[in-house]
């Protein structure tokens, strides 16, 4: 593994890239080498939550399921926040039970995410995917033991460069999400912003992968 893509919605099937493909329970596809599975707040349907959670629990026992997610909170959608919190908490408890990391979707709800982590005493790693906020928010998340994953916004938002430069390498992941770009190009830009060789970025993220996902770099 030369590159690790924390969050993508499709697979490029490259031998030198380990891709964590995002899966929703109601659209599960068994063919991926590595995936995360979770109930995204956008797709919560009350009459399907129990069956979705049951499928997630089943998949967490398989070796190709590396994480729960993406799941989390989004204050800019119509689904009631209380319902979102209930579904999110149930997934966090599964993550804790099966000792799997969590890929977080968060929109305008970072304080709630932090509070829930504390309330439930979640010990497994939690990674905020697609991070795009300011240094203050990043600092709060880091102080509460979150990891931060960067992708689209690192490329499209020049203001994020200064934030990214301050994030310790041992707390960083990179991703493509739904972008039509390669993970290699994200690594190149991230290495440029950190002013380090791409090999050093690869090594740092490989160490993070081993720590968070219990996968040795091969």
Which residue ranges are tagged as binding site for a divalent metal cation? 70, 105, 129, 177
Annotated binding site: which residue ranges?
70, 105, 129, 177
Question: Which long-range CB contacts under 8 A does 177-182 form with residues at least 24 apart?
Answer: 177/7, 177/8, 177/9, 177/129, 177/130, 177/151, 177/152, 178/8, 178/9, 178/152, 179/151, 179/152, 179/155, 181/155, 182/12
3-class SS of residue 151: coil
- How much helix, strand and coil, in percent to the nearest 5, is found in the chain? 45, 20, 35
């Amino acid at each position: 593994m030369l590159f690790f893509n924390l969050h993508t919605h499709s697979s490029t099937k490259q031998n030198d890239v380990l891709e964590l493909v995002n899966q929703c329970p109601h659209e599960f596809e068994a063919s991926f080498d590595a995936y995360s599975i979770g109930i995204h707040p956008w797709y919560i349907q009350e009459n399907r939550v129990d069956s979705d959670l049951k499928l997630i629990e089943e998949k967490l026992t398989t070796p190709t399921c590396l994480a729960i997610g993406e799941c989390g909170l989004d204050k800019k959608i119509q689904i009631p926040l209380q319902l979102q919190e209930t579904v999110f908490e149930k997934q966090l408890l599964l993550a804790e039970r099966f000792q799997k990391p969590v890929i977080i979707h968060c929109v305008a709800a970072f304080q709630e995410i932090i509070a829930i982590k504390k309330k439930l005493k979640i010990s497994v790693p939690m990674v905020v995917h697609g991070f795009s906020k300011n240094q203050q928010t990043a600092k709060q998340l880091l102080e509460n033991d979150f990891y931060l994953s960067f992708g689209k916004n690192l490329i499209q938002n020049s203001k994020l460069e200064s934030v990214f430069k301050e994030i310790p390498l041992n707390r960083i992941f990179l991703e493509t999400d739904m972008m039509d770009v390669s993970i290699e190009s994200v690594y190149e830009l991230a290495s440029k912003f950190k002013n380090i060789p791409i090999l050093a970025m690869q090594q740092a993220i490989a160490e993070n992968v081993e720590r968070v996902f219990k996968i040795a770099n091969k």
